[in-house]
Amino acid sequence: MEFTVEYQLSAGEVTRAFKRGLRRGIRLLRWGMPAFLLGAAAICASVGAFAATAGMVAGAIASPIAGAWAYRRLFRRMAVLLRAPATLRFTGDGYEVRTELSTVALRWAIFDRVESTPEFWLFYRDRKFAAFLPRAAFDDAQQAAIDNIVASRSVAA
């Protein structure tokens, strides 16, 4: 199997893929950090460190807001690069994405897990979101070929 396609991601595709792929990290940011800070505030309050308690509570309130802002800022920078017209070349060993500014080649074996959704293939490495491919870029035969390659690493959507 070897084929090449030309594709340009839309802003909506990039947004949806990242929201889906990063949902675990976003959930941790939204709930984990405030819970940790509130627990630390309770410990500080129990030993009478009220200034530290106030700081921890303020941090628990501000961390989801600051984290969301940081994610959006980072995402905007990355989205510009991801939305460039690209040539995607696929082989049995991996795939290559070539744009005017960069070339990235990845082997299938680098990914621990692939989540197949109706819109994307989401690739994970060490339980972290690493890459994605939009299904819309491929015809039915190409989608079937990619599905066959990643089937051993897939998790149902």
Q: Residue for token digits 């500080």?
A: 44
The secondary structure element, H or E, covering residue 122 is strand 120-125
Domains and their CATH numbers in the chain: 3-9+85-156 (2.30.29), 20-80 (no CATH)
Average pLDDT over residues 3-28: 81
| Residue at 79: amino acid letter | A
* C-alpha torsion sign, points 57, 58, 59, 62: positive
| Residue at 69: amino acid letter | W
pTM: 0.70
Q: Residue for token digits 């015809």?
A: 139
Average pLDDT over residues 34-47: 92
| Residue at 20: amino acid letter | R
Return the minimum-mean-pLDDT range out of 12-16, 45-49, 107-111: 12-16
**Distance between CA 65 and CA 59 in Å, rounded?**
10
